[in-house]
Amino acid sequence: MNLNIVPLKFSNDPLLRKLTDKLSLYFDEIKIFYTPVNIEPAYNSARRQYHSTKILESVIKSNPGESGLYLILTELDLFVPVLTHVFGEAQLKGRFSIVSVCRLYEEFYTAESNPKLVLNRSFKEALHEIGHNLGLYHCRNWECIMHSSNNVEEIDTKGLFYCKECSDILKSSGIKHPAAT
Ligand SMILES: [Zn+2]
Ligand SMILES: [Zn+2]
């Protein structure tokens, strides 16, 4: 299985590089894929945020022709109408997902920068959305990457892996090494 990472309004190259490294354990090949997308229709001026579903739709409509999954990475603050914010969104059993690092930066909450923490949070949220693409639903296990997180504390509580139950479901998905190592 291949993964195409699509940076969209994403300027943190060291984070992109390290995240690609960590995700490469799970995929045969990872490509960084740039596609021109008009994000303005996704902008909500009252909320000053971007509607994640609309960004996903724009990227899908741009009809990128690569094989495998697409993970859009952005620094834009994302929302869906019923929630104040989302860390990401994915098509269930589809090929497209999006993760925002906006609220994964420690600077969003405190004055301190912590690149390693941001990398781990980004990795967890990326694998979480990829899990939805591969057919996984939310998991009740608090340590599982498929546990749903409403805030960064809950992301930090999660481990870096799919739990046994979730990795068993992933065995036939084409992703590599889904089990904890
Ligand atoms: Zn989820
Ligand atoms: Zn699980």
* Interval between CA 167 and ligand 2 midpoint (Å): 7
- Residue 129 annotated in active site: yes
Q: Where are the domains of the chain?
A: 2-170
Strands of 9-165, DSSP E: 29-32, 43-44, 49-51, 69-74, 78-79, 88-90, 96-100
Whether 144 and 85 have beta carbons less than 8 Å apart is answered as: no
**Ligand with an atom nearest the CA of residue 131:** 1
* Interval between CA 155 and ligand 1 midpoint (Å): 11
Q: What is the pLDDT of residue 63?
A: 83
Q: What is the pLDDT of residue 64?
A: 87
Task: Determine whether domain 2-170 maps to CATH 3.40.390.10.
Answer: yes
* Interval between CA 91 and ligand 2 midpoint (Å): 18
Whether 132 and 140 have beta carbons less than 8 Å apart is answered as: no
* Interval between CA 65 and ligand 1 midpoint (Å): 26
Q: What is the pLDDT of residue 111?
A: 85
Q: What is the pLDDT of residue 178?
A: 65
CA distance 113 to 156: 15
Q: What is the pLDDT of residue 159?
A: 94
pLDDT means per 10 residues, the chain with 181 residues, are 97 98 96 92 97 96 91 98 96 97 96 95 98 97 95 96 94 79 48
* Dihedral-angle region of residue 135 (phi above 0 means left; psi in -120 to 50 means alpha; beta otherwise): left
**Ligand with an atom nearest the CA of residue 141:** 2
**Ligand with an atom nearest the CA of residue 150:** 1
The catalytic position among 106, 112, 129, 153 is: 129
* Interval between CA 137 and ligand 1 midpoint (Å): 7
- 28-53: buried (b, 16+ CB within 10 Å) or exposed (e) per residue? eebeebebebebeebeeeeeebbbbb
Q: What is the pLDDT of residue 36?
A: 86
pTM for the predicted model, two decimal places:
0.95
